[in-house]
Amino acid sequence: MRRGEQIFHDADRSRDGWFSCSSCHPGGHTNGQTFDTLNDGNHDTYKLTPSLRGVTRTGPWTWHGWQQSLPASIRKSLHDTLSTESTPTDGDIRAMIAYLGSLRHPVSPHLRADGQLEDAARRGKRLFETRAGCTDCHAGKDYTTAATYKVGLESPRLFYPEFNPPSLRGLHDKRRFLHDGRARSLEDVLGKHHRPEKLTGKPLSKSQLDDLIAYLRSI
């Protein structure tokens, strides 16, 4: 694990030695910037750097979910994103996966002091699991599924037609959302780009939306 952490932070792995995985994923999380890593079949289709917390459990990988193998994804990041000139060994990749597997989401500051959900978040949880239909795609303890979906955010410029639902854990620790970082708040995500009524045909009232967002900030 320590060896994986070292490789993750090692700028000598990049061409000309000026950046590492941690430049975009500081300490394994996200720097909140968009980049064109050219892995999605196009040019000029910038993607928000995903957080790598929980990443060993949330395959398939990349926003489009085309990458079925985490070791292959890490090799590709070393070769293509960092343009490494050394060939990583299987042991290097295993060590990096051990490091990524050790990353934890911080506890949400929106929970009550006893670690339980606030009342609004509790109401939001019920909506999330029932009327709002979120668990069709964001299920289980990591709030994701292994499938890909069309959710109305596709563009004809994209090579892959669908997206893999990102995990919703640790949203309280992010400032930009969706594959191209177009949303700057959860209000923006659910009020504008990823509206519940567009996904399920069932509109939510303003106060239900507030409850849902209170829940999302707590997980």
Closer Cβ to ligand HEC, 86 or 113, answer by number: 86
Q: Which residues bind ligand HEC (CB under 6 A)?
A: 19, 21, 23-25, 35, 37, 39-40, 47, 49-50, 52, 55, 58, 61-63, 73-74, 77-78, 81-82, 96, 132-134, 136-138, 149, 151, 153, 163, 165-166, 168, 171, 174, 177-179, 186, 189-190, 194, 196, 199, 212, 216
Closer Cβ to ligand HEC, 78 or 120, answer by number: 78
> How far apart are CB 113 and ligand HEC at their closest, in Å?
25
> How far apart are CB 115 and ligand HEC at their closest, in Å?
22
Q: Which residues contact 86 (CB under 8 A, 6 or more apart)?
A: 13
First CA to last CA distance, the chain? 26
Closer Cβ to ligand HEC, 101 or 113, answer by number: 101
> How far apart are CB 75 and ligand HEC at their closest, in Å?
9
Closer Cβ to ligand HEC, 111 or 145, answer by number: 145
Residue pair 33/49 in contact (Cβ under 8 Å)? The answer is: yes
> How far apart are CB 64 and ligand HEC at their closest, in Å?
6
Q: Which residues of 155-172 are buried (b: 16+ CB within 10 A; e: fewer)?
A: eeebebebbbbbbbbbbb
**Cα separations (Å) of 88 from 3, 35, 75, 99, 136?**
12, 23, 7, 15, 38
**Beta-carbon-side half-sphere exposure of residue 147 (alpha carbons within 13 Å):** 8
**Cα separations (Å) of 148 from 16, 47, 49, 162?**
37, 17, 19, 6
> How far apart are CB 141 and ligand HEC at their closest, in Å?
16
Closer Cβ to ligand HEC, 113 or 171, answer by number: 171
